[in-house]
Structure 1
Amino acid sequence: MSFRAPLRPLALASLVANIALVVTGAAVRLTGSGLGCPTWPRCTDASYTTTAAMGVHGAIEFGNRLLSIALALIALACFLAALWQRPRRRSLVLLSLVIGLGIPGQGVIGGITVLTDLNPWVVGLHFLLSMALIALAYALWRRTGEGDGPARPLVAAPLRTLARLTAVVSAAVIVVGVVVTGSGPHAGDEHARRNGLDPEMISQAHADLVFLLLGLTVALWFALRAVGAPQAAVRAAAVLVAVELAQGLIGFVQYFTHLPVLLVGAHMLGACLVWVGTLAVLWSLRERPPALAAPESAASAATPAEPVSPVPAAH
């Protein structure tokens, strides 16, 4: 019996919701609402929800917490859909389970950020876990659209190595960007401390990594075109170049205009899109066909058909 639960649209919803959580988290920080709910897991000592006394900051922070609950519900729906699919695919069940377990982990780290008065290193860890969940949600979405057989590369090993190096540098750009954020002015609350590092020095290191990432991505795009790689791979690399250029432009403008909140929020969204674009390139360099059906046993294959008894001749 075959049954297809609506896992693919749910996986896409999980991916979009995880990106939305990053953007709303940025809104919390950029509006100074990081301590709009000054405690955790309650919003105040007496209430799990925000109150009129907490004002707009409480509403913004509590809204972000509500989105986390929606994210958990979507993750649960993904897990149940993966269980209900027939035939059941173990890889999809495991992926959806890990995502589901990551959501409460994300909530706990978010609570620690509040309890530590927005320690910049804990805030950074909170963001990086979101990027890990985005990667898992993207993997779940892609796996729902392909078979369960072994992955088969579509390009030569040197190109796959270049793509992996590009992905490593993309991750490094994100990590150093977190450190830049921790040294800047948008702490999420006017009394929250910063990490104490020189913002100009860290920003320069971040910019250097961005240039390296862009160079590697352009080189990968040219190389894929030169060897006649599948169009999906060439297109994914071209899209990543375009997203990186847009993200770099936003980054430079926000730096030289003293970090206006709208541009910083756009830059946070751009970081998610660069990460998703990087993952898309990696996935475009391989394919996973359906698993082959299990062969019949040798005994059954060797068993001859039963002979048909001859009909006696009429006399």
Structure 2
Amino acid sequence: MKFFEPLFRPFAAWLRPLALASLVANVALIVTGAAVRLTDSGLGCPTWPRCTDESYTTTAAMGVHGVIEFGNRLLTFVLVGLAVACFFGALGHKPRRRSLIWLSVAVGFGIPMQGVVGGITVLTHLNPWVVGLHFLLSIALITVAYAFWRRIDEGDGAPAPLVPAPIRALGLLTTLASLSVVAVGVIVTGSGPHSGDRGAKRNGLDPAAISQVHADLVFLLVGLSVALWFALRAVQAPPAAVRAALTLVVVELAQGLIGFVQYFTHLPVILVAAHMLGAGLVWTATLAVLWSLRERPVLSPTAAATTAPAQEPVPAA
């Protein structure tokens, strides 16, 4: 491995910007996916892994829909490139940390898995449940990419709480509510008119009824987030935690406003796209709150030595 260290060193020097770029690109994948669906370009490339039966790239005969769908596929290569760069950076990071390496590997393997699910959506003619899984995989990738980015500046000590246990429980409850809002929002999308292709099936659920469930969960999430913000201020939590909670509330209110406006204006594509971007931002802001409630201290060499397992004595010859 030492032979390759000069190769890894430049990536290690830029590891934090690379990790942030990977996170941003995974959020951007939601937006490009929305563009595919909202322009009815979901079958712009009607097969997979090729774009047509004869070509891996779009053709002039496929028009703008082929360009949009193929452009979304190309973003996968950008994500893979960033994941490889982050992996090299994790290998070159000093001190080398196994946690960073494994997180970079998780991001790297998640991207082709996302591509395969995207291919299945095409092969199943945009089945709404498969399309929903495609979106939820993006949420999972954002989670891992965010963890990788934040772990760069942390130590490898055991997580130490920064707030009392009831506040941490409220933070976990808020996180579960946020994930529920995202998941039900996916189901709402599967019942709505923007299927990605005019001939694609919908999930058969009543859009009004499932939208009401989604709205109820949004109210619950906003209430929990506001309560968490007040609770953090009451216990004089670290300023970073208070700011993270306030940011989450602001992002949720903006996302909720977009959601209500798009519903009552019959889902104009520009607002639907903004709402999908907002879903990624709400989840990222939720992760920021969760991260701010604890810290991982840097282990000193002495502490690391005392926590290492004792070696068996070597018998005398």
TM-score in terms of structure 2 length: 0.92
Deviation at 1:86, TM superposition (A): 2.6
Deviation at 1:69, TM superposition (A): 1.1
Task: Tell me how far apart the structure 2 counterparts of residues 296 and 19 of structure 1 sit (CA, whole Å).
Answer: 36
Task: Tell me how far apart the structure 1 counterparts of residues 111 and 302 of structure 2 sit (CA, whole Å).
Answer: 37
Q: Could you tell me whether the CA contact under 8 Å between 1:251 and 1:267 is conserved in 2?
A: yes
* 1:240 corresponds to 2:248: yes
Task: Tell me how far apart the structure 2 counterparts of residues 291 and 161 of structure 1 sit (CA, whole Å).
Answer: 26
Task: Tell me how far apart the structure 1 counterparts of residues 28 and 267 of structure 2 sit (CA, whole Å).
Answer: 21
Deviation at 1:81, TM superposition (A): 1.1
Matching residue of 1:254: 262
* 1:171 corresponds to 2:179: yes
Alignment of 1:65-214 (within 5 A): 65-214=73-222
Task: Tell me how far apart the structure 2 counterparts of residues 52 and 246 of structure 1 sit (CA, whole Å).
Answer: 40
Task: Tell me how far apart the structure 1 counterparts of residues 256 and 271 of structure 2 sit (CA, whole Å).
Answer: 12
Deviation at 1:296, TM superposition (A): 10
Task: Tell me how far apart the structure 1 counterparts of residues 176 and 135 of structure 2 sit (CA, whole Å).
Answer: 17
Alignment of 1:11-90 (within 5 A): 11-90=19-98
Task: Tell me how far apart the structure 2 counterparts of residues 75 and 31 of structure 1 sit (CA, whole Å).
Answer: 29
TM-score in terms of structure 1 length: 0.92
* 1:6 corresponds to 2:14: yes
Q: What residue identity is the alignment partner of 1:228?
A: Q
Instruction: Provide closer, same or farther for how the CA distance between residues 48 and 276 of structure 1 changes in structure 2, counting only shifts above 3 A.
Output: same
Task: Tell me how far apart the structure 1 counterparts of residues 299 and 13 of structure 2 sit (CA, whole Å).
Answer: 19
- RMSD value, Cα: 1.6
Instruction: Provide closer, same or farther for how the CA distance between residues 297 and 186 of structure 1 changes in structure 2, counting only shifts above 3 A.
Output: closer
Tell me the SS of whatever aligns to 2:301. coil
Instruction: Provide closer, same or farther for how the CA distance between residues 105 and 12 of structure 1 changes in structure 2, counting only shifts above 3 A.
Output: same
Q: What residue identity is the alignment partner of 1:95?
A: L
Task: Tell me how far apart the structure 1 counterparts of residues 68 and 239 of structure 2 sit (CA, whole Å).
Answer: 43
Instruction: Provide closer, same or farther for how the CA distance between residues 25 and 149 of structure 1 changes in structure 2, counting only shifts above 3 A.
Output: same
Match for 1:272 among 275, 280, 291? 280
Deviation at 1:52, TM superposition (A): 0.2
Tell me the SS of whatever aligns to 2:96. coil
Identity over aligned pairs, percent? 73
Task: Tell me how far apart the structure 1 counterparts of residues 105 and 305 of structure 2 sit (CA, whole Å).
Answer: 34
Q: Which 4+ residue blocks in structure 1 deviate beyond 6 angstroms?
A: 295-298
Task: Tell me how far apart the structure 1 counterparts of residues 92 and 45 of structure 2 sit (CA, whole Å).
Answer: 38
* 1:229 corresponds to 2:233: no
Higher Rg: 1
Of the structure 1 ranges 4-13 and 234-243, higher mean CA displacement relative to structure 2 is found in 4-13
Matching residue of 1:282: 290
Task: Tell me how far apart the structure 1 counterparts of residues 107 and 15 of structure 2 sit (CA, whole Å).
Answer: 14
Q: Which runs of 5+ in 1 are unaligned?
A: 299-315
Deviation at 1:274, TM superposition (A): 0.4
Deviation at 1:174, TM superposition (A): 0.3
Matching residue of 2:223: 215
Q: Could you tell me whether the CA contact under 8 Å between 1:150 and 1:291 is conserved in 2?
A: no
Matching residue of 2:299: 291
Task: Tell me how far apart the structure 1 counterparts of residues 119 and 227 of structure 2 sit (CA, whole Å).
Answer: 42
Q: Which runs of 5+ in 2 are unaligned?
A: 307-317
Tell me the SS of whatever aligns to 1:94. helix
Deviation at 1:163, TM superposition (A): 0.2
Task: Tell me how far apart the structure 2 counterparts of residues 115 and 232 of structure 1 sit (CA, whole Å).
Answer: 46
Deviation at 1:295, TM superposition (A): 6.2
Deviation at 1:59, TM superposition (A): 0.2
Task: Tell me how far apart the structure 2 counterparts of residues 12 and 92 of structure 1 sit (CA, whole Å).
Answer: 14
Matching residue of 1:301: none
Task: Tell me how far apart the structure 1 counterparts of residues 191 and 304 of structure 2 sit (CA, whole Å).
Answer: 63
Deviation at 1:244, TM superposition (A): 0.4
Task: Tell me how far apart the structure 1 counterparts of residues 200 and 231 of structure 2 sit (CA, whole Å).
Answer: 47
Deviation at 1:189, TM superposition (A): 0.2
